[in-house]
Amino acid sequence: MQSKTNVKVKELMITDVIAVKPGDTIPHAAKTFRTNSISGAPVIDDQRKVIGVISEADIMNLTAAIPFPDIDPLNPFPVFSMSSYMKKVKKIPDEINTLFEGYVKDVMSKNTVTISPDDSISDAARLMRKHDFNRLPVVDSEGKLVGILARGDIISVFAN
Amino acid sequence: MKEKVEEIMTRAVITVNENDTLLDVATVLKEGKIAGVPVLNDTEDIVGVISEADILKVLTNFHWYTSVFTVHDLMHIFGEDIHDIQQDVEKASKMNVKDVMSKEPEIIVQDALIDDAAQIMHTTGYNRLPVVDSDGKLVGIVARADIIASIYEH
């Protein structure tokens, strides 16, 4: 019986990868995640080279970095939901509105942690654990996106 | 406009029991297409959360594991001892949830604000929070995806 840990990335990766572009808007990325039931995606340039990854956490952390005006100055916590914020202020400042309509390139992690199709899934698992990533873009020798391997794909080997 | 956790949470929560095996969990995650589940004891109290990250940690913690060689290299070096590695993987499949799960999970009450849920996720790094009623009983689960949907779909 072949050991399950001998499995290569190319045997488990999804080749039908959903990716976004740096110039896509954040709402577009959020909708893409929702529609496809994913929590993140690689960001690729016009040559299909991986230039970063954007995740739900990156989108949620948007609001944490910006000081919201007109909120009780004694409350240090950022506001995460537009609904709560809109209850507190009369008019949303333009810079807050554009925050939610910004571009993938401003929010993505510019990490270049990728893996090749011939690496083993234990290498992939080690990388995910080391960097606390949920997914690794799989690239060819030119750095072009050929697939994606997520934690769930590795775990599912043991569910068979 | 949605403001409270109960307005965005998933009510039909998939859970596992603390005495289930990792193999049971892997199956549940795969079939439900989810990344983590609350863990209950026999009296239906929430005793932890187990996620893909917890299972992955088990797989990368085996005694034969080093950062220099890949598993493939090690199996060539050890030759006849390959069955040890296979045995470890089989053993992992049979491990109990209670030995692997994150204990003392962050939970949130159903009438808390979405803001509060987001704040907890931001501070702790957790991706999902079990939601309880005022008696502490599990009534739902709220994940990052739900919060993002509430930002963009109001």
Mean pLDDT by 10 residues, chain A (160 residues): 66 94 93 90 96 90 60 53 62 66 89 89 85 92 95 77
Average pLDDT over residues B70-84: 53
ipTM above 0.95, yes or no: no
Condensed to tens digits (0 to 9), the pLDDT of residues B109-118 reads: 999 988 889 8
B67 pLDDT band, cuts 50/70/90, is: very low
> Which of B35-44, B86-95, B122-131, B133-142 bottoms out in mean pLDDT, i.e. has the lowest?
B86-95
At A142 the pLDDT is: 94
Contacts of B61 (CB under 8 A, 6+ apart): none
Q: Which residue has the higher pLDDT, A62 or B52?
A: B52
* pLDDT average, residue stretch B63-88: 53
Are B71 and A5 in contact (CB < 8 Å)?
yes
A-B C-beta contacts closer than 8 Å: 145
Lowest mean pLDDT among A59-63, A143-147, B77-81, B103-107: B77-81
Which residues of chain A are within 8 Å of residue B147 when distances are taken between CB atoms?
A: 60, 80-81
